[in-house]
Amino acid sequence: MRAKEEEEEEEEEEEEEEEEEEEEEEEEEEEEEEEEEEEEEEEEEEEERGGGGGGGGGGGGGGGGGGGGGGDEEEEEEEEEEEEEEEEEEEEEEEEEEEEEEEEKKKKKKKKKKKKKEAEQ
């Protein structure tokens, strides 16, 4: 009887730990999404500011100056896009690693449960 009670307690603890881990992961994902949204908003604001500044510079410097500013904006946009893509790739890799770790944890827990059941029998 005691062995069964201990096993049940251990299983309950493991389930609670799993739930806590899942909640933590969900919170982390939400935080990452919020950070991404904030970054996107900041980038949009920077683009708006950069576009307005370029237009003002073009008016003061003449039409040719405005054209030059446009080229800089394109380069900046390309760089920003490349940075965004790199960040997205890194985030995807991190998510994949986390998923793999979760799967490994689950496999280990299943093995433990099997061993316990075999030991009882």
pLDDT in tens, 38-63: 988 888 888 787 755 544 455 555 55
Residues 6+ apart with CB under 8 A from 39: 87
pLDDT score of 73: 81
Q: Residue 100: how many CB atoms within 10 A of its CB?
A: 10
- Any idea where the domains of the chain sit in the sequence? 12-51+70-120
pLDDT score of 116: 77
pLDDT score of 4: 84
The angle at the Cα of 97, spanning 93 to 99, to the nearest 5 degrees, equals 115
The two three-digit tokens of residue 116, written as one number = 């316990």
In the predicted model, what is the mean pLDDT of residues 26-49? 87
* Span between the terminal Cα atoms of the chain, in Å: 13
pLDDT score of 87: 93
Cα distances from 83 to residues 48, 62, 86, 89, 91, in angstroms, run 18, 32, 5, 10, 12
pLDDT 10s digits, 73-99: 888 888 999 999 999 999 999 999 999
State what percent of residues in the chain have pLDDT above 90: 26
Q: How would residue 100 be classed by pLDDT, with cut points 50, 70 and 90? A: very high
